[in-house]
Amino acid sequence: MTTPWLAPVAPGAVHATVDVPGSKSITNRALILACLASGPSVLRAPLRSRDTLLMAEALRCLGAEISDGPDGEWLVTPRTPRGPATVDCGLAGTVLRFLPPLACLAEGEVTFDGDPQARERPLHQVLDALRTLGGEIDGNSLPFTVHGGGGIGGGEVTIDASASSQFVSGLLLSAPAFRNGVTVRHEGAAMPSLPHVAMTVRMLREHGVRVDDSQPDTWSVFPGEVRSLERTVEPDLSNAAPFLAAAAVTGGRVTVPGWPTETTQAGDAMRGILARMGAETLLDERGLTVTGPRTLSPVDLDLHEVGELTPTVAALAALAEGTSRLRGIAHLRGHETDRLAALCRELGNIGVRAEETEDGLVITPGEPHGGQWRAYADHRMATAGAVLGLRVPDVTVDDIATTSKTLPDFPRMWSRMLETVR
């Protein structure tokens, strides 16, 4: 069932400190690496949302022990993967694309399925690559079955990852346990979201895995031990984006504590994007503080490497003083929904002119008015509607519960932020 939600209008400028939970991308990568490690690991401040709970439960089904610690951490004890098992992917791309390689290491069958929308998400590149590397798989999309043989040879494979960097990350994460490791080469149009592959490489190295990424569009992971470790998860910087946007659209000030000074998270790009739109940004010992301008400047942005920020940036562009162009994001047509088409429809529904181009959007603010804002089971579409609702009365997000995918407490966090308006 959907949960309609009237987005609250900000009667003034917000002045808030917002503690954002841990990164989904880091949490789900860390869970997989901990389950491949040579001993128990501790994951502190993990994100607990639908996507990460699906990942944890899937790994439990494959034999791992994942238990709750006294301070909210996850205690992970690896076990040899085994089937038969059934994996519910939900709508989580990380589960859908990261777990089939690990399932090839299991003894027995592992069946994958998920939400109806997940059946439309690109996947065959990962499954075809695994077949090339020695895996046995029935099907090319959900539902499909991996016939685990207790291991996989690995080796070299060439894929087209122009639709998603997750195709590469999924193969790299389990590669230390492949008998011959793996070398993945990308051939095709420019691959989106490269920071996410850099995150995967960095985390593999932190676990003691040898990775060679010295050649463009080529990554080699060598077989060997995955060391156990204790890891504290950074705040999810992409989930912070709507709260920072709230400062920008209300002329207020929002601080997100714990913002890292060095990170591979794509959400860190919000600092530069907001600055180009006229906001002031300050990163210091308190975290990242954004102070909004009197008016938002239009932008011309290539978001190819940080496409997940597009719905929030589109909401900001709809409230700017002039036409904005968002480029390099054709791959968003294969996300939780076709985000480009969805943004065009929903912005048009509230009186903002939006045109879809071959690889992006052109957004021209008009006289926005209230109306229904459909989320399409997409958490970032839902939060974009919340941002617009700060300035546009009577915007109703048709399903705010979809934010539970990565930020289950979003409505309460939004309301608490608005208590600081003055």
Do residues 249 and 391 touch, judged by C-beta distance below 8 A? yes
- Confirm or deny that 335 is annotated as ligand binding: yes
> Does 165 carry a binding-site annotation?
yes
- Is 336 within any annotated ligand binding site? no
Flag whether 415 is marked binding.
no
φ/ψ of residue 86, rounded to 5: -125, 125
DSSP string, 185-247: EE-SSPPS-HHHHHHHHHHHHHTT--EE--STTEEEE--------EEEPPB-HHHHHHHHHHH
- Asked whether residue 69 is marked as a ligand-binding residue, the answer is no
- Residues 384 and 211: their CA atoms lie apart, in Å, by 37
Bridging pattern class, strands 107-113 and 85-88: parallel
Q: Is 339 annotated as a binding residue?
A: yes
- Helix, strand or coil, per DSSP, at residue 349: helix
Tokens describing residue 376: 């399409």
Q: Is 380 annotated as a binding residue?
A: yes
Check whether 93 is labelled as a binding-site residue.
yes
Catalytic pick from 73, 305, 308, 346?
308
Pairing mode, strands 353-356 and 361-364: antiparallel
Q: Is 305 a known ligand-binding residue?
A: no
25 is in an annotated binding site: yes
Structure tokens at 407: 């930020």
- Residues 343 and 373: their CA atoms lie apart, in Å, by 10
346 is catalytic: no
Binding-site positions for phosphoenolpyruvate: 24, 93, 121, 166, 339, 380, 405
Binding-site positions for 3-phosphoshikimate: 24-25, 29, 164-166, 193, 308, 335
Catalytically active residues are 308
